Amino acid sequence: MSQAVAHGHDDHSHLPAGWKRWLFTTNHKDIGTLYLSFALIMFFIGGAMAMIIRLELLEPGVQYVDPTFFNSMTTMHALVMIFGVVMPGTVGFANWLIPMMIGSPDMALPRMNNWSFWILPFAFTLLLGSLFLPGGGPAGGWTMYPPLMLQTGFALPFVIFAVHFLGASSIMGSINIIATIFNMRAPGMTFMRLPLFVWTWLITSFLLIATIPVLAGAVTMLLTDKYFGTSFFNAAGGGDPVLFQHVFWFFGHPEVYILILPSFGIVSQILPTFSRKPLFGYESMVYATASIAFLSFFVWAHHMFTVGMPLAGELFFMYATMSIAVPTGVKVFNWVATMWRGSMTFETPMLWAISFVVLFTIGGFSGLMLGITPADFQYHDTYFVVAHFHYVLVTGAVFGMIGGVYYWLPKWTGHMYDETLGKIHFWVSVISVNLLFFPQHFLGLAGMPRRIPDYAVQFTEWNQISSIGGFVFGASQLIFLYLIIRCIRGGAKATDQVWEGAHGLEWTLPSPPPYHSFTTPPQVTDAVAHS
């Protein structure tokens, strides 16, 4: 071990300067920075698409954009936010933090790490470039259901190859994370001493390896159906379009946990720090996360209750879905219990973490409502579904990530961010995001379908409120961008521990940490183990 470490150090004593440093880097911190910067850029691209969607929905009727372009905006917004923001963003956190948290000098497979990042710009060039092809970008929804998706023009192979690339990137990233956690832990860093963020990423990585290849298979079948005469989903040739939905959601449901579990981990690091108490129920948190991941493989058909399923199937998938509320409830309970009677302070990361707990739980409850089969027949494909998954993904996954950025930014840059600006960012965001998504529950219950550029006039008021909330939420993210850039360029010097209540190996390193985290592995005892 020590030999490998010493060797690695020699390799990097003369860093290439300028752009070559970033292109050829095998350093986990550089690659983490690349991932996070990429996710931030994509956040604004996907956000701009959302602004176009909300602008068109400001009034009934077709005002600003062509309906086909509107459809490709909803499709691309989803693909960019899922594959371009949440997945690379959380991998960025993993790259930066896992080696520092487990006391290792770097990731286990640094060259592959470089690859898995640099595939992303190519994949997104293909995906975003398809918008400029004759016939426009993909407009069949991010779920890509045939036969609709097969009516896509030149954009179809571009989207499919982009998905292949993105999948390859995620699988390589996951292999790297698992290899790091299995083989690179410092002496004394047993599995039950891993910080919860490391645990959630370990489990997420297994989900990725198990499900991304299934998505790759499903989109390959679409490709061969369209161009090579196969009939996987073509009824005229003996195929079945419903089969695609089964295969897609076999990937798709674990995918939603891939998106949320790393944020669960981030929040589980933030809450104990600012409550000045250890995380309540550490072991039950680990088992709950694993149970959620395991159960996620048996609930996929709740996305397709209305497809025509026998009663037994509907009941099975309904009860399996409801059962996930149990481990999720354990997690929410533990977060609340962590704060209970703690010496709480409300710095910006804590504000995001607390709002995560509250707002994610609202999204979880609307998910339970959707899981009730008979009720789902009313909610299916309405704005209620849109409201639900934006509560779990925006105020869940994204809020967790933003909180994580505030929490570790002083560690990463060595500078404190502007606390006042951070609080302004939080309050504007948290108010506007509820203005944006809460009315969509009412729209959905009243019957407004999703994925349409126009709507009946009785939906006007709530749509206008939602659009105004959307514009404010979008604009408030510019504060975030400004704050990050300013923090990178300077600011008050951050201490090693940064936060008074912070525990864990990453806080024993200087801020910013040295290029190689732990050149001599630290000895981990219960005293320094998870917060």
Partner 1 sequence: MNLDANRKTALKLAGCALAMFGFGYALVPIYDAFCDITGLNGRTGELSAAEAAAIKPDPGRTVTVEFDTNVNGQLPWAFRPLQRSVQVNPGEVTLVLFVAQNDSGRMVVGQAVPSVAPAKASPYFNKTECFCFTQQTLAPGERREMPVRFVVDPQIPRDVSTLTLSYTFFEVPENLRDSVPAGNNKQSS
Q: Quick check: is 106 catalytic?
A: yes
- Cα-Cα-Cα-Cα dihedral of 459, 359, 55, 425, to 10°? 140
> Which residue do the tokens 């006007």 mark?
460
The Cα 437–Cα 465 span in angstroms is: 9
Q: Which of 225, 255, 347, 418 is catalytic?
A: 255
- The yes or no reply on residue 247 touching partner 1 (CB under 8 A) is yes
- The yes or no reply on residue 12 touching partner 1 (CB under 8 A) is no
Residue closer to partner 1, measured from CB, 257 or 407: 257
Q: Quick check: is 441 catalytic?
A: no
- The yes or no reply on residue 176 touching partner 1 (CB under 8 A) is yes
- The yes or no reply on residue 509 touching partner 1 (CB under 8 A) is no
Three-state SS string across 8-47, please?
HHHHCCCCCCCHHHHHHCCCHHHHHHHHHHHHHHHHHHHH
Q: Quick check: is 328 catalytic?
A: yes
The least CB distance from residue 229 to partner 1, in Å, is 4
Q: Which of residues 280-339 bind partner 1 (CB under 8 A)?
A: 308-310, 313
Q: Which of 72, 152, 328, 382 is catalytic?
A: 328
The Cα 452–Cα 60 span in angstroms is: 11
Residue closer to partner 1, measured from CB, 221 or 353: 221
Distances (CA, A) of 292 to 147, 195, 203, 375, 524: 32, 18, 10, 23, 29
Site string for partner 1, 100-139 (x = CB under 8 A): --------xx--x---------------------------
Give the distance from CA 356 to its chain's centroid: 13
Among 41, 58, 178, 368, binds partner 1 (CB under 8 A): 178
Residue closer to partner 1, measured from CB, 7 or 341: 7
- The yes or no reply on residue 416 touching partner 1 (CB under 8 A) is no
- The yes or no reply on residue 87 touching partner 1 (CB under 8 A) is no
Q: Quick check: is 77 catalytic?
A: yes
- The yes or no reply on residue 6 touching partner 1 (CB under 8 A) is no
Residue closer to partner 1, measured from CB, 106 or 347: 106
Q: Which of 28, 331, 441, 530 is catalytic?
A: 331
4 burial class (0-12, 13-18, 19+ CB within 10 angstroms)?
exposed
- Give strand pairing partners of 449: 382
Q: Are 167 and 116 in contact (CB under 8 A)?
A: no
Q: Which of 450, 451, 486, 516 is catalytic?
A: 450
Q: Are 162 and 126 in contact (CB under 8 A)?
A: yes
Neighbours of 11 (CB within 10 A): 10
The least CB distance from residue 247 to partner 1, in Å, is 5
In the chain, how long is the greatest CA-to-CA distance? 71
- The yes or no reply on residue 213 touching partner 1 (CB under 8 A) is yes
Q: Quick check: is 268 catalytic?
A: yes
Residue closer to partner 1, measured from CB, 220 or 460: 220
- The yes or no reply on residue 182 touching partner 1 (CB under 8 A) is yes
Residues whose CB falls within 8 Å of the CB of residue 306, separated by 6 or more in sequence, listed in order: 376, 377, 380, 381
Q: Quick check: is 352 catalytic?
A: no
- The yes or no reply on residue 216 touching partner 1 (CB under 8 A) is yes
The Cα 400–Cα 214 span in angstroms is: 27
Instruction: Give kind and range of the element (H or E) at residue 153.
Output: none
Q: Which residues contact partner 1 (rule: CB under 8 A)?
A: 1, 4, 108-109, 112, 171, 174-176, 178-179, 182-184, 209-218, 221, 229, 231-232, 234-237, 240, 242-243, 246-247, 250, 308-310, 313
As annotated, the active-site residues are: 77, 106, 142, 169-170, 253, 255, 257, 268, 302-303, 328, 331, 450
